[in-house]
Structure 1
């Protein structure tokens, strides 16, 4: 399995000029003065199929974009369902690159419609990756800023409520005509320059493609089409080991299945704490999720009652190391 290479590119690198933001926003001044001396990095999140078709399989396309815009354009590698496209340079080069990408996407939409019965052209859609600490400024008090962007540019702008996995970034989706998207990106850049990220940003890095795992009868399966295919990965092995080494004797069985062999390693106990506001995700409706985790892992799992004044709940997991590892994995996944 190939993994994505980290980009090692800062989210925003600023060299602020002695110019006003109003001048920065004026398109004619950006063009006539050759752009402002502001260098920044904008990151786009694209589905692997889209980015591989538009950029990777047509290497001359991205090469042309780099040459004509003057911006640095890099695409993350790896067997991932998503790709990060990083665009770095002075503001005028970034806007040129965004314009070329938006018009290229529109061209692809028009070409795809020639073989489709659809009559109305769908909008161009791009997703930016923005540090969560800057998203409040993008939305504005009571949603005032994002409403102003929508009205002044004609683009639809949506800020995701949840952070992208294993990061402190959110996706910002922009839809509309290429012209509307370009104007919207300019306004977003202004907000990002006015409100730099607070604290450290953990960048989103797409993970390699994976398929859902279903456990049944001590085996793990992935769904391919209409069929369940055995899935012999590390998680499966851990699940099998947990099932084989369950230290709790089933009712009615008093001796090991194989006399003379120790049926399992001795049981041990592991404790962890979970924030109160997340405990419902782990328990599930009427305890369905926690019972599922108990059954899958073979571990005993006890959740302590909420303590007055405490913002956390204690979870005690008892079982073999394999039981505990799988239970921890499943709890973290929830």
Structure 2
């Protein structure tokens, strides 16, 4: 079930004249590394990956961008869709998005033939703190983006049902050309926001979502193997509601770390885990070998302490795991 979306703005009834050319972001913003995230269904993710990772390898090679996915059945809260993150320079991300969306559109055409709706939908994940820049004063910016791109643009309300969820969905409806123009405009605006680009390496905080390796695709294409805030949820972990814990010092969060990465989290003689505990002020406990998060090969890492201590410990663990993934 999709999270409820309220239309902030939709396509204008009378299409105004579109700008003739793409106006690139300022050169400095265009060159610095940034990212974009969006949702795809399980089936669509499979076609992006390709047999043995062939399609995603080709797209990365052609665009120069890095393309990563959340694991099979690990979804954005309130949806049944997986997360794709593309990172790199502005032009690299734009090219990779075009390759992926064109591929997905061709798959739909192959299945449905002439019956396919020419106006498809793509949902971007945007930090709540960056949505104001897209909306603009009195909705002026989003209105200009709709008029320029001819795409429908909807921004979902902030969902307070999930702990740590500080992202909203920006839904773009239209033809491939219209969607790509809207993506160009939105990403141009986001790259002007220093906080947005800085959040590229920040831990994801999706309630109960285990952002980890997708079984069957090579390591460079998977989001870091760390689950965030998997506390007080149903057996599957996904889509549960957060139940607040009033005792700040007694918060406890269980995250999942791929079994092969536990060694780098612990460190020689326990050096790394001791350092993480000392710096963060949190208490960290790792499950025994073979004691995995249900349905995964991820060990349970339980972090106890204040919310700030837990966040710091999570970030440090993610950094250890990410550095091991890139070796």
TM-score, structure 1 length as denominator? Answer: 0.48
- When Rg is computed on C-alpha atoms for both structures, the one with the higher figure is 1
